[in-house]
């Protein structure tokens, strides 16, 4: 076995100041996301982040945290949207970072805790890149220089899109991959306690952040084992097995649910997406040029990366070189598949390329270091890079010219409700009650702050149909009003009787119309009465109250006492003549239990709407009962 290198931070401790400088610079750049004055007070206050799907992740993070404190699971049954649906690790997987932050804070609705967690995740970018550089065998100074490049890459447009859209889980998983790959190469050459601890910790965090990303590494890991296993002793094999166990074991408690509820995110047959052809995947040279152009200085990054790979190969770090090349090729291949796959999001490849760039950045940092070293400028170049980022993070003026010159795109997030949104919340609290649901007219565009309505249940204490994610991609999102259609049928094709029947089945007491089609059709419904006219993000809003009996009990009698993500309580329950109590609540045959146990829970189909694939809950009750409880007991 080769001797361990002696050019790391333990032997060059002054370079740790460079790492501190990178984190300090990253802190200034990250604080700019929360306000132009870079005040930490904007991170601590209770104004929620409204950009992208941050509101949805905050909402589900709170539900998951409360369920974890109550039942040691983050899977629960949410009656606040869609007449009840299972909140699982599949939908929404992006809330796992938020769940972690909010579990540690006690499970309370505290947007400031979510923002602190987001801020900490952003600080991990330079730390992860420096750690990965050390795993690749770069000397301490080169690792700091590479970390500076990682900060620039972390504020490129594709990564900023991930931050703005709330895909922190993917960002953290990508950082884990960037660290894991070079440290696997280091483990192949110098396996020891330090390599094992880094790999075990990264594996545990990576599986938690995004298991799909980790599963995607399987071909590379299999190839790695087949190449190096035949020449290694038993301790090496046991250590590698221990890394796998350390990654999976802390996550099994939720990975079981992730596998169990995977069907919830399967698209319907009508959403079938044909496979792309090999010719489309291979593409043309111009297609690869487009991929390179997704990141700042992509051509320079690729050229210096090739230089760095040659240096690493000559220095004996061939395992690192092989792994970096393999993962880079895999990510580029996946990016091309996503770009060529019909009906996939147009920016899918753009979101993956930063992972490839992060892999290339490791040898690129070494390549730049070696080029500067020939000019006797390597240490000075690293120091200048760190100081330049500190200036861009903390001393940039109006318009942020320094950040713009460096290619840093730290555009502020949307923080806090607007005056219009506050008025909508106040109107909903004033004109509605807890006796029925509110039907929210969804629009399927993604204008800034479109997902703010995911937080309405917390701010109004009401239940909703629609408003939490128009692109949820799960069966329980079928019911809703969007794009002039109700449950997928054009409003103009529905009679007054059909609208009334829908409102009875889903216990809709109010309709919030945000489109001319919805406003006109519901305005013609005899039982609809306008109670408020508002605006939100330039859209006119009309709130209609429906003059109909409001009750979550469709058949039989009962008092709707309370509803939470883990428990729904009914009191004074009296069945009808058939011994039944029907609830306006979606049926789940797995996880939802009824007490007393002699009550039988079955599904109730909507006889008047055969096109509705969702069933409600029907209880077989032998006689009057003072209390019935539906409990989410995740099996």
Over the stretch 177-209, which tens digit does the pLDDT of each residue have?
999 999 999 999 888 899 999 999 999 999 999
For residue 273, give both structure tokens. 């997406």
Task: Count Cβ neighbours within 10 Å for each residue of 218-234 and write b for 16 or more, e otherwise.
Answer: eebbeebeeebeeeeee
Same domain, 197 and 301: yes
Lowest mean pLDDT segment, chosen from 75-84, 93-102, 128-137, 292-301: 292-301
Task: Count Cβ neighbours within 10 Å for each residue of 119-135 and write b for 16 or more, e otherwise.
Answer: bebbebbbbbbbbbbbb
State the Cα angle at 250 between 235 and 65, rounded to 5°: 165
Lowest mean pLDDT segment, chosen from 123-127, 128-132, 328-332: 328-332
Q: Judge whether 104 lies within some domain.
A: no
pLDDT of residue 4: 57
For residue 422, give both structure tokens. 């506050």
Reference 340, options 295, 294, 283, 289; nearest CA is 283
Reference 527, options 505, 551, 503; nearest CA is 503
Per residue in 246-300, pLDDT (tens digit) is 999 999 999 999 888 876 665 544 455 667 777 777 777 777 777 777 787 788 8
Average of pLDDT values for 364-372?
94
Same domain, 456 and 569: no
For residues 7 and 570, give the distance between their C-alpha atoms in angstroms, rounded to a whole number. Answer: 68
Per residue in 548-599, pLDDT (tens digit) is 999 999 999 999 999 998 899 999 999 999 999 999 999 988 889 999 999 9
pLDDT of residue 342: 73
Same domain, 542 and 568: no
Reference 114, options 126, 127, 100; nearest CA is 100
Q: Can you give the pTM of this predicted structure?
A: 0.93
Average of pLDDT values for 105-109?
84
Average of pLDDT values for 32-53?
91
Same domain, 482 and 509: yes
Q: Say if residue 22's pLDDT is above 50.
A: yes
Domain boundary among 512, 546, 580: 546
Strand partners, 620: 580, 600
For residue 71, give both structure tokens. 């039942």
Same domain, 479 and 505: yes
Average of pLDDT values for 321-347?
84
Average of pLDDT values for 331-340?
83
Sorting pLDDT into bands at 50, 70 and 90, what band is 138? very high
345 vs 73, which has greater pLDDT?
A: 73
pLDDT of residue 269: 41
Per residue in 394-435, pLDDT (tens digit) is 987 666 777 777 778 778 899 999 999 999 999 999 999 999
Average pLDDT score over the chain: 89
Q: Judge whether 537 lies within some domain.
A: yes
Q: Judge whether 90 lies within some domain.
A: no
Same domain, 366 and 434: no
Q: Judge whether 596 lies within some domain.
A: yes
Q: Say if residue 214's pLDDT is above 70.
A: yes
Residue 371: give the domain boundaries: 22-46+110-264+277-397
Burial class (CB in 10 A: 0-12, 13-18, 19+), 108: exposed
Same domain, 431 and 516: yes
How many helices (H) and strands (E) the chain has is answered by 24, 18
Q: Say if residue 65's pLDDT is above 70.
A: yes
Q: What is the DSSP string of 109-162?
A: --HHHHHHHHHHHHHHHHHHHHHHHHHTT--HHHHHHHHHHHHHHHTSHHHHHH
Q: Judge whether 332 lies within some domain.
A: yes
pLDDT of residue 479: 87
pLDDT of residue 225: 93
Same domain, 379 and 442: no
Strand partners, 441: 481
Q: Judge whether 81 lies within some domain.
A: no
To the nearest whole percent, how much of the chain has pLDDT over 90?
67
Q: Say if residue 478's pLDDT is above 60.
A: yes
For residue 619, give both structure tokens. 């209880």
Same domain, 565 and 515: no
Same domain, 188 and 211: yes
Sorting pLDDT into bands at 50, 70 and 90, what band is 323? very high
What is the tally of structural domains in the chain? 3
Q: Judge whether 58 lies within some domain.
A: no
Q: Judge whether 77 lies within some domain.
A: no
Reference 460, options 435, 427, 436; nearest CA is 427
Domain boundary among 525, 546, 567: 546
SS (H, E, C) 489-530: EEHHHCCHHHHHHHHHHCCEEEEEECCHHHHHHHHCCCCEEE
pLDDT of residue 3: 55
Same domain, 387 and 299: yes
Average of pLDDT values for 465-482?
85
pLDDT of residue 578: 92
H or E segment to which residue 608 belongs: none
Check residue 179 and report its DSSP letter: H
Domain boundary among 365, 397, 429: 397
Per residue in 489-544, pLDDT (tens digit) is 999 999 999 999 999 999 999 999 999 999 999 999 999 999 999 998 778 999 99
Same domain, 129 and 257: yes
């Amino acid at each position: 076995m080769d001797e361990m290198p002696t050019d790391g931070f333990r032997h060059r401790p002054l370079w740790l100041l460079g790492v501190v400088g990178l984190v300090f610079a990253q802190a200034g750049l990250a604080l700019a996301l929360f306000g132009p004055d870079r005040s930490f007070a904007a991170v601590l206050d209770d104004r929620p982040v409204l950009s992208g799907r941050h509101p949805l992740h905050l909402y589900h993070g709170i539900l998951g945290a409360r369920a974890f404190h109550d039942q040691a699971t983050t899977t629960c049954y949410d009656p606040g949207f869609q007449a009840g649906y299972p909140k699982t690790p599949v939908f929404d997987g992006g809330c796992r970072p938020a769940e972690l932050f909010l579990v540690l804070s006690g499970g309370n609705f505290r947007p400031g805790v979510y923002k602190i967690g987001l801020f900490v995740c952003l600080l991990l970018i330079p730390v992860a890149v420096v750690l990965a550089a050390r795993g690749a065998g770069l000397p301490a100074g080169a690792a700091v220089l590479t970390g500076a490049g990682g900060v620039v890459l972390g504020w490129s447009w594709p990564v900023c899109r991930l931050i703005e859209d709330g895909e922190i889980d993917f960002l953290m998983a990508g950082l884990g991959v960037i660290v894991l790959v070079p440290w696997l190469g280091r483990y192949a050459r110098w396996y020891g306690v330090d390599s094992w601890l880094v790999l075990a910790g990264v594996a545990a965090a990576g599986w938690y952040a995004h298991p799909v990303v980790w599963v995607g590494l399987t071909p590379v890991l299999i190839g790695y084992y087949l190449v190096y296993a035949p020449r290694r002793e038993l301790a090496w094999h046991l250590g590698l097995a221990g890394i796998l166990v350390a990654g999976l074991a802390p996550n099994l408690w939720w990975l079981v649910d992730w596998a169990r509820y995977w069907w919830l995110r399967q698209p319907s047959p009508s959403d079938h997406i044909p496979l792309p052809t090999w010719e489309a995947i291979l593409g043309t040279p111009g297609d690869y040029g487009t991929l390179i152009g997704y990141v700042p200085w992509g051509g320079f990054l690729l050229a210096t990366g090739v230089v760095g790979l040659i240096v690493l190969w000559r220095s004996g770090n061939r395992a690192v070189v092989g792994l970096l090349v393999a993962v880079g090729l895999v990510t580029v291949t996946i990016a091309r598949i996503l770009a060529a796959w019909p009906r996939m999001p147009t920016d899918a490849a753009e979101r993956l390329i930063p992972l490839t760039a992060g892999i290339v950045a490791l040898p690129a940092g070494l390549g730049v270091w070696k080029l500067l070293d020939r000019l006797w400028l390597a240490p000075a170049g690293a120091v200048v890079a760190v100081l330049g980022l500190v200036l861009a993070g903390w001393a940039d003026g109006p318009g942020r010219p320094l950040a713009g010159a460096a290619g840093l795109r730290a555009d502020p997030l949307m923080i806090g409700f607007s005056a219009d949104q506050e008025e909508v919340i106040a109107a909903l609290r004033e004109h509605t009650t807890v006796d029925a649901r509110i039907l929210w007219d969804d629009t399927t565009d993604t204008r800034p702050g479109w997902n703010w309505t995911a937080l309405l249940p917390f701010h109004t204490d009401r239940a909703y149909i629609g408003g939490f994610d128009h692109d949820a991609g799960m069966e329980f999102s079928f019911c809703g009003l969007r794009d002039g259609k109700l449950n997928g049928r054009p409003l103009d094709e529905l009679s007054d009787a059909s609208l009334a029947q829908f409102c009875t089945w889903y216990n809709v007491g109010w309709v919030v119309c945000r489109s001319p089609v919805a406003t006109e059709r519901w305005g013609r419904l005899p039982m609809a009465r306008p109670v408020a006219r508002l605006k939100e993000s330039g859209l006119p809003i009309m709130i209609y109250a429906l003059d109909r009996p409001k009750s979550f009990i469709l058949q039989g009698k009962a008092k709707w006492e309370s509803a939470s993500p883990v428990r729904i309580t009914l009191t004074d329950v009296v069945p009808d003549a058939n011994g039944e109590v029907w609830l306006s609540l979606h049926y789940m045959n797995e996880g939802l239990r009824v007490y007393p146990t002699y009550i039988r829970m079955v599904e109730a189909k909507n006889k008047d709407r055969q096109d509705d694939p969702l069933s409600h809950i029907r209880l077989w009750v032998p006689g009057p009962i003072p209390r019935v409880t539906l409990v989410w007991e995740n099996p």
